[in-house]
């Protein structure tokens, strides 16, 4: 199974990037036969969606996302919202998330991180057909929990336990959704823009 971790910050040396590295290590520790990619929005330099954009120039990214069975979204809270570059992703890449599960990990240097979860859950699923699993994890005071190299440095296992629960469930959903994507009703693609 291929899992793609989307690091939702466009800042260099972001907390989202180091959190993504930690999550990648955790996923491989659970099952090292899986392929785990990090799609870091600070490195991808994606254009802001525009009607005149030639989307075929992004086909390498699109193919990689299409080949993924499950996603982890690492989302920092910026001004009480998900970063605009993350919302932009759903304009640039339509169809690649269809009937695939996703685990949201939201982060904050302080004690924020709640609003991006609600934002993604409220709207993103409709046209993408992305399935956010019921478990999400908020990492408050992220700089005291994960270091620059993606190591867990939290004093307690509180966050680690919740991440482990989310990742293990994501893998189970990932297997189940492989079956769902082969079903007649999914293959029919009756409502390409959501119902």
Provide the binding-site residues for ligand FMN, judged by CB under 6 A.
9, 11, 14-16, 76-80, 107-110, 112-113
Nearer to ligand FMN, 10 or 127 (CB): 10
CB 23 within 8 A of CB 91: no
The edge-to-edge listing of strands for the beta sheet with 2-7 is: 35-40, 2-7, 70-76, 101-107, 131-139
To ligand FMN, the closest distance from the beta carbon of 166 in angstroms equals 18
Q: Which of 138, 171 has the CB closer to ligand FMN?
A: 138
Q: How far is the CB of 115 from ligand FMN (least distance, A)?
A: 7
Q: Are 64 and 39 in contact (CB under 8 A)?
A: yes
Virtual torsion, Cα 27, 30, 35, 39, nearest 10 deg: 0
Indicate the residue whose CB is closest to ligand FMN. 112
Q: Taking the complex as a whole, how short is the minimal distance between the CB of residue 173 and ligand FMN, in angstroms?
A: 25
Distance separating alpha carbons of residues 76 and 93, to the nearest angstrom:
20
Least distance (Å) between residue 160 CB and ligand FMN: 19
- For residue 101, is it left (φ>0), alpha (ψ between -120 and 50) or beta? beta
Nearer to ligand FMN, 83 or 174 (CB): 83
How far apart CA 189 and CA 31 sit, in angstroms, is 32
Nearest to 16 by CA among 86, 67, 79, 69: 86
CB-nearer residue toward ligand FMN: 9 or 127: 9
Q: How far is the CB of 150 from ligand FMN (least distance, A)?
A: 13
Comparing CB distances to ligand FMN, the nearer of 82 and 171 is 82
């Amino acid at each position: 199974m291929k899992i793609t971790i989307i690091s939702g910050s466009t800042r260099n040396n972001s907390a989202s990037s180091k959190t993504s590295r930690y999550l990648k290590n955790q996923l491989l520790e659970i099952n090292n036969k899986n392929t785990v990619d990090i799609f870091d929005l600070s490195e991808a330099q994606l254009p802001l969606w525009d009607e005149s954009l030639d989307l075929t120039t992004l086909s390498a990214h699109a193919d990689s996302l299409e080949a993924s069975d499950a996603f982890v979204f690492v989302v920092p809270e910026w001004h009480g919202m998900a970063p605009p570059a993350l919302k932009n992703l759903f304009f640039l890449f339509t169809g690649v998330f269809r009937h695939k599960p996703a685990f949201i990990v939201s982060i904050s240097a302080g004690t924020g991180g709640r609003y991006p979860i609600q934002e993604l859950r409220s709207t993103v699923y409709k046209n993408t057909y992305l399935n956010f699993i019921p478990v999400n994890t908020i990492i408050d005071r992220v700089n005291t929990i994960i270091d620059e190299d993606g190591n867990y440095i939290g004093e307690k296992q509180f966050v680690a336990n919740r991440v482990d629960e989310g990742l293990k469930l994501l893998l189970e959903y990932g297997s189940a959704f492989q079956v769902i994507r082969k079903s007649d009703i999914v293959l029919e693609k009756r409502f390409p823009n959501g119902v």
